[in-house]
Homo-oligomer: A and B are copies of this chain.
Amino acid sequence: MGRKSDAKERLLEAALDLIWKRSYGVLTIDAICEKAGVKKGSFYYFFDSKSTLAAAALHESWYSCGKETWDKIFSASTAPLDRITDFMKTVYDGQIEVQKEHGQVLGCPCFSVGSETTSEDQAVSEKAREILGKQLRYFESAIRDAQAEGSSAPGDAAERAKCLFSLFEGSLAQARIHNDLTYLRNLPEAALGMLRVQQAEPVR
């Protein structure tokens, strides 16, 4: 019953796009509305703040798109280390496309926004952390599987996943900062190097 509309979806999409290309803090509700082709009255019909919208946009982006991609690449039917190298290559190829289309490497919105909104915007930073936490699990699980089959050195899988994830997100962010894809090109090898190897002894 009632009128139907895709304004909500347009707002979510516009918000995600602007957050990704620009940043969260610099965004205004007016800008989002303009991009989405929606009047401010309608914005407040669907959301009660920029924060709510942004959190919803991150959520949507993961559950209606990102998750599926990760599930496919991290399929248990793929060899554990291949999951990881496939993933890195996919990200690299993806950012090549992004750069072609937007003239800029844009990196990972959750990571950028997560870092930007720490202790500044509860809803958004919590959502970013939630998604990053889920992504970390894929790494963790692949590492455990690799260890089980002996293709990765033993050691706390959760720790190692964090480390690999930091390398990955750090590289993506550098690629964004310098608009330079070379930060991503050898991620597959770097990831392998990190995993295949015996963990170093604690220093001192």
Chain A contact residues, CB within 8 Å of chain B: 22-26, 85, 89, 103-104, 107, 111-112, 114-120, 125, 128-129, 132, 159, 162-163, 165-171, 173-174, 176-179, 182-183, 186, 188-190, 192-194, 196-203
Contact = CB atoms under 8 A, between A and B. Distances in A.
Given A25-B24, A104-B119, A178-B129, A169 B173 contact: yes
Contacts of A169: 170, 173-174
Most chain B CB within a 10 A radius of its CB, from A114, A169, A179 = A169
B118 A179 contact: yes
Contacts of A174: 132, 162, 165-166, 169
Contacts of A182: 162
> So how many copies of this chain end up in the complex?
2
Contacts of A117: 23
A23 B22 contact: no
Contacts of A168: 170
Given A177-B128, A194-B194, A115 B118 contact: no
Contact of A163 (B159, B171, B176): B171
Given A104-B119, A162-B174, 7 more contacts: A85-B203, A118-B176, A132-B177, A169-B170, A190-B200, A193-B198, A193-B199
24 contacts: A22-B120, A25-B26, A25-B116, A85-B203, A112-B115, A114-B177, A115-B115, A115-B116, A115-B177, A118-B179, A162-B174, A162-B182, A163-B167, A165-B174, A166-B167, A168-B170, A169-B170, A169-B173, A169-B174, A188-B202, A188-B203, A189-B200, A189-B203, A190-B194
